[in-house]
Structure 1
Amino acid sequence: MDVKNAFLHGELEEEVFMRLPPGHPQSHEPDLMCRLHKSIYGLKQSPRAWYAKLSSVLTTVGFKRSNADSSLFVRTGTAGKLVVLVYVDDLIITGDNIDEITKLKHSLQQRFAIKDLGILRYFLGIEMATSPKGFFLSQRKYVLDLLKEANMSDAKPVNTPLDTKLKLSLEGQPLPNISYYQRLVGKLIYLTITRPDIAYSVSIASQFMHFPTMEHFNLVKRLLRYLKGSIGRGIIMKKNESTEITGYCDADWAGNSIDRKSTTGYCTFVGGNLVTWKSKKQAVVARSSTEVEYRAMASTACELIWLKGLLCDLGVSTTQSMSLFCDNQATIHIASNPVFHERTKHIEVDCHYVRAQVQSQVIKTHFVKRYDQLADLFTKPLASPQFQRLLGKLGSINLLDPA
């Protein structure tokens, strides 16, 4: 559902004054001002005022706001369960009772000027195809528009987003149009919502937003050539009865040749379906591969705890321990060892956090061979066979692929 003129519904708590608008009978008098009782477009307070108004309306009809995600509202009752997800003025409504959904729509239409867009098929550039077996998320039209804007609709496709022998530096010919580079990378960042295959390459390109060179622009062009050959790729989520939460974490020690910082990569699954992933450069330089892996493990543990809280708010609670897979034996031993080693004191906070989750049996750590480490995709460039193999295991498929 789409709310028309959403910000005009928000009620201001602060005192906000504005000059009289042009055309007002007294606009020529400089000392007269308007005090706003409701928000208008252009005010910094408008998004917060609209969210407060909408959340109060949903609360009055029995919804509770999720602790894990403030944009998620859930109502559980004898008639069934209703879930509302809010993104500014766009609402997704779902549940297990059609009559309750219809009543909620009617209730919202009485309070706001709101348009019913029907079954969810396209939302914020994300296309969704549904079937009894599950659903498929992609951004096909978004990719086509991006290639058209970059004048690369007829580019020659490549099999991988990055060259395995990639070596970047800060030297080189400066790019004359920095804003063009920043705009392209910004759109690529949004594309990672349904494309885990480009998460690492986009994170590399985004590190040079302040001063890109032609070398960095060529990296973005190769990424666009890869998108040309995989326009229909997206995430498939299959319907099943499992609610098991698992995660894979990996790190590339000192992989950045410029500042020797490492890259954290992780991905999480619910019921065997990929739900979240991340590729991010670590903030500090690590002194050992174990330290790097442990920082990655701590980040993944936080994501798993958040996912468990989110599912609990949705009414899906489980007492089963969450599995965390890592390809570093030393890191797994530190997580279960109650004695701190002298060389691990500088990562003591991460050690304490992960160990607390392991000892309380919220998380169980498991060793996985490097060849089967799914998070390897988010930490380094891979050759085409391994790249395609891991994508298949992540549930990323190309519907337009003839095979």
Structure 2
Amino acid sequence: MGTVRTLISCATNFGWALHQLHVKNAFLHGDLHEEVYMEIPPGFSKPETSRKVCKLRKSLYGLKQSPRAWFDRFRRAVCNMGYKQCNGDHTIFYQHSNCQITILAVYVDDIIITGDDDVEISRLKKSLSKEFEVKDLGQLKYFLGIEIARSPKGIVLSQRKYALDLLSDTSMLGCRPASTPIDQNHKLCAESGEPVDKEKYQRLVGRLIYLCHTRPDISYAVSVVSRYMHDPRSGHLEAVYRILRYLKGNPGRGLWFKKNGHLNIDGYCDADWGSCLDDRRSTSGYCVFVGGNWVSWRSKKQPVVSKSTAEAEYRAISQGLSEMLWVRNLLSELKVIRKDPLRLWCDNKSAISIANNPVQHDRTKHVEIDRFFIKEKLDDGIIRISYVSSIEQVADCLTKGLSVKECNSACDKMGMIDIYHPS
């Protein structure tokens, strides 16, 4: 989804059209390279065929090889049309022609086409229709449960229907709304309450995880409740219902992609030191802007215990830098950006000093690999790490619970709006 949001930011800034196609019975187009046999389907068996089996010539739904066989067939077909497969994301194909570009992104049987070469886009649609049974859905409006609304001012991604269906299935449509997704001073731990229905809890959290594709404001809260999927307690379930009550207040809120006229890559990273009460591991949070639009983010507990705030922040810098480099390599391969230095903002001066100081410090021995990784990119001029005050830190909402005022401010910084809210 980070790739899809990046392409939508490009389309917004460059004024590209977004087209959507759907491949009917996609898995049935796959070619099998192995010998696969199946039992004769019920209703077709006869006494004389009781000891016989069927040999498959094409892949079927339910076969483990079907997704791989389908994508291999699709890849070969698109490459034969003159397109190249992107190394940064293998589901992206592109073609340059006369200083124009056409980009195709595929997710199983759903296809997005964008670019500034209208003639090539029309030719590509016809070629795909000859190769597969394809339905042209016109302009991109609904993709993988995400609603896309476009106007001259920009594009809005939201999951309003998905959120309302979730509230309806949990009988929370009439609940009292909450002003924040998680309590500011929550004390959730592994022993918070009595055991609850594990399957129900996992199903709820799984649906919330998918909702995070357009709702970064609940990412931290969802990451916290995701830690206890193996042994959920009543306190954890209450935190899940708190997120649902928050969604009740603004189910149509989503990401707004504005036309800023550039594709500069900026990033923010932050860490909350020793925030997990179970193992005292820190929480890292980072976000990446492409063309002034929020396209990628993450809130996750760090894999090891940090001995200082500087160490925790430094690990967050490393994770944020890795994501920014991936976005940069993706856009560089598509040849839609200049190779300007990346800008990463951090609110910890000690971590910034360690990154810029070539002298080995005793307190950096536990992050030595991260230190050399970041230093190498600084020396090559690929990245610039700058200080930002905690008040202006955009990634703050990905590492801790916020107050009502701070939560609303964070949503504004992320570019989140609710187009369904009455004016």
Q: TM bucket by the smaller chain? A: over 0.9
Q: Of 161, 169, 180, which aligns to 1:160?
A: 180
Aligned to 1:93: 113
Aligned to 2:334: 314
Q: CA deviation at 1:23?
A: 3.9
The amino acid across from 1:7 in the alignment is F
Q: Of 215, 219, 225, which aligns to 2:245?
A: 225
Aligned residues of 2:219 and 2:298 also touching (Cα < 8 A): yes
The amino acid across from 1:265 in the alignment is G
Q: Of 203, 207, 221, which aligns to 2:227?
A: 207
Aligned to 2:137: 117
- Structure 2, unmatched stretches of 5+, are 1-20
Matches within 5 A, 1:142-153: 142-153=162-173
Q: Of 241, 247, 259, which aligns to 1:239?
A: 259
| Distance in 2, Cα, partners of 1:10 & 1:398 | 41
Aligned residues of 1:266 and 1:375 also touching (Cα < 8 A): yes
The amino acid across from 2:145 in the alignment is G
Q: CA deviation at 1:43?
A: 1.0
| Distance in 1, Cα, partners of 2:260 & 2:191 | 51
Aligned residues of 1:247 and 1:325 also touching (Cα < 8 A): yes
Q: CA deviation at 1:376?
A: 0.6
Aligned to 2:410: 390
TM-score norm. by structure 2 comes to 0.92
Aligned to 2:5: none
C-alpha change, 1:374 and 1:79, in structure 2 (3 Å) is: closer
Aligned residues: 403
Question: What secondary structure is seen at the aligned counterpart in 2 of 1:55?
Answer: helix
| Distance in 1, Cα, partners of 2:407 & 2:335 | 36
Q: Sequence identity, in percent?
A: 48
CA RMSD in angstroms comes to 1.5
| Distance in 2, Cα, partners of 1:216 & 1:40 | 41
The amino acid across from 1:332 in the alignment is I
Deviates more, 1:134-143 or 1:88-97: 88-97
Deviations 1:11-63 (A, max 9, x none): 11222222233344667545433332321111111100000000111000111
Question: What secondary structure is seen at the aligned counterpart in 1 of 2:32?
Answer: strand
Task: Report whether the alignment pairs 1:354 with 2:374.
Answer: yes
Q: CA deviation at 1:100?
A: 2.0
Q: CA deviation at 1:96?
A: 1.4
Aligned to 2:78: 58
C-alpha change, 1:57 and 1:141, in structure 2 (3 Å) is: same
Deviations 1:333-379 (A, max 9, x none): 11111121122111101111111111101000001111111111100
Deviates more, 1:137-146 or 1:386-395: 386-395
Aligned residues of 2:197 and 2:232 also touching (Cα < 8 A): no
The amino acid across from 1:367 in the alignment is Y
Deviates more, 1:71-80 or 1:134-143: 71-80
Q: Of 186, 202, 212, which aligns to 1:192?
A: 212
Question: What secondary structure is seen at the aligned counterpart in 1 of 2:137?
Answer: coil
Q: CA deviation at 1:109?
A: 1.1
